[in-house]
Amino acid sequence: MTDDPQFPDSYPMALRRMKQLERKLEKNPELYANVCKQIDEYHDKGYAHIATPEELDAIVSNKVWYLPLNVVLNLNKPGKVRLVWDAAATVQGVSLNSQLLKGPDMLVSLVHVIGGFREYRIAIGGDLREMYHQIKIISQDRRFQHFLFRKDPSEPPREYIMDVATFGSTSSPCSAQYVKNLNDQEFARQYPEAAAAIITRHHDYFDSVDTVEEAIKRAREVKLIHQKGGFEIRNWISISTKVLQSLGEKKQVSVVHITEDKATSHERVLGLIWDPELDEFSFSTQHRQEHLPYLRGDKRPSKRVVLSCVMGFFDPLGLLSPFTVHGKIIVQHLWRSGCDWDDAINDECWGMWKRWIAVLPQLDNIRIQRCYLGDSLSSSVESVEVHIFTDASEHAYGCVS
């Protein structure tokens, strides 16, 4: 952000968006109650506060910004409601995000993290609780994070101020990673292995070591370092019940969905799953309700639907490429055919589509061992070689290592 930002009046836009949200919530009283409860919790936790008369009197019209509040539902987790502040909302071509510097992408590649997760026998992991909301915004910048909300549409809007980083602001991912890593560096000499793990194995935290004892030590040190920075790592997972018990986890989770996009806070419907009990990867094939008639072959899809289905798979390691590549080839054919977005696909592509979706149920049977070395200790392996194979056709090219 510049040292002297100039904003248009965003209050009318935020008020309009608040009323739109109210109309949506009034149709679902349970959802409305959930949002009201979360707003109260934000206030109690110190994430937000009701603007004081002094703060309201000090407002300068071009030195304040109102963020529209939005609600995001997770189809995979009924009842889970996430509050998001729309920092991309514009007034006269200006948004909060347009005035913020995004910063470098400091998030470690998920491919890199999962690769490390597969190296050794004992797998461990966890996730940070409300990571963005542990980052305090300096007082003079909080005036750009006002928002409107009321529990009763008959009451005047109540003005709140967010005191912490929010989902939706373009700078939040970089800021959160920077603070996490800065805190980590303070303990790098005292806990070198745990500190390195926090830097290199964190998307959500996924790690692996040779022994149960190493896993307990690593996890405890990672937990301690995060605590020193005001972060809480929770929901521990491991193939070892002894590791979980040492961390205070009461029971093992059945499966872990490796599907969340940390940049947007959205979670894919189709994605990679890890089963800690079997220590295997598999894939979720739960589909969006509106796609089911097309994926059953009951209805001919449009180009828009085909693209949405094909791109809906979250496959960071490319394990499904032998299947998904055929979907991408269908998309190629649709582009060459000149088919409009919402027209039903032609007969040739319809035949390709039916062949492709016929294979879809078989994805439920795919199981891939998590650990590259199986039950072997890394010390027992004398050497490791990587072999890479590539090939290409007129329609696609690929490689496997």
What pLDDT digit, counting tens, does each position of 191-228 carry? 999 999 999 998 789 999 999 999 999 999 999 999 99
Helices of type H across 81-211: 110-117, 172-185, 192-200
251: left (phi over 0), alpha (psi -120 to 50) or beta: beta
Q: What local confidence, expressed as pLDDT, does residue 103 receive?
A: 93
Q: Is the pLDDT of residue 254 over 90?
A: no
Identity of the amino acid at 117: F
pLDDT band at 364 (very low <50, low <70, confident <90, very high): confident
* Minimum mean pLDDT range among 38-52, 223-237, 266-280: 266-280
Nearest to 31 by CA among 39, 202, 258: 39
pLDDT digits 0-9 by tens, 97-115: 999 999 999 988 889 999 9
Q: What local confidence, expressed as pLDDT, does residue 167 receive?
A: 86
Q: Is the pLDDT of residue 264 over 50?
A: no
Q: What local confidence, expressed as pLDDT, does residue 80 receive?
A: 82
Report the percent of the chain where pLDDT is more than 90.
Answer: 76
Domains of the chain and any CATH numbers: 11-105+132-171 (3.10.10.10), 288-400 (no CATH)
Tokens of 316: 């960071």
Q: Is the pLDDT of residue 329 over 80?
A: yes
Q: Is the pLDDT of residue 265 over 50?
A: no
Report the percent of the chain where pLDDT is more than 70.
Answer: 95
Tell me what the mean pLDDT of segment 304-332 comes to: 92
Tokens of 207: 């790690």
Supply the DSSP string of 47-70, one letter for each residue.
SEEEPPHHHHHT--GGG--BPPEE
Q: Is the pLDDT of residue 286 over 90?
A: no
Helices of type H across 78-191: 110-117, 172-185
Mean per-residue pLDDT over the chain, rounded? 91
Number of alpha carbons in the 13 Å side-chain half-sphere of residue 207 = 30
Q: What is the pTM of this model?
A: 0.86
pLDDT band at 266 (very low <50, low <70, confident <90, very high): very low
Sheet holding 48-50, edge to edge: 48-50, 158-162, 146-149
Identity of the amino acid at 6: Q
pLDDT digits 0-9 by tens, 7-64: 999 999 999 999 999 999 999 999 999 999 999 999 999 999 999 999 988 888 888 9
pLDDT band at 267 (very low <50, low <70, confident <90, very high): very low
Contact 167, 261 (CB under 8 A): no
Q: What local confidence, expressed as pLDDT, does residue 189 receive?
A: 96
Which long-range contacts link 238-246 to residues 24+ away (Cβ below 8 Å)? 238/122, 238/123, 238/124, 238/125, 238/276, 239/122, 239/123, 239/276, 239/277, 239/279, 240/122, 240/212, 240/215, 242/212, 242/216, 243/122, 243/124, 243/212, 243/215, 243/216, 243/219, 246/216, 246/219, 246/220
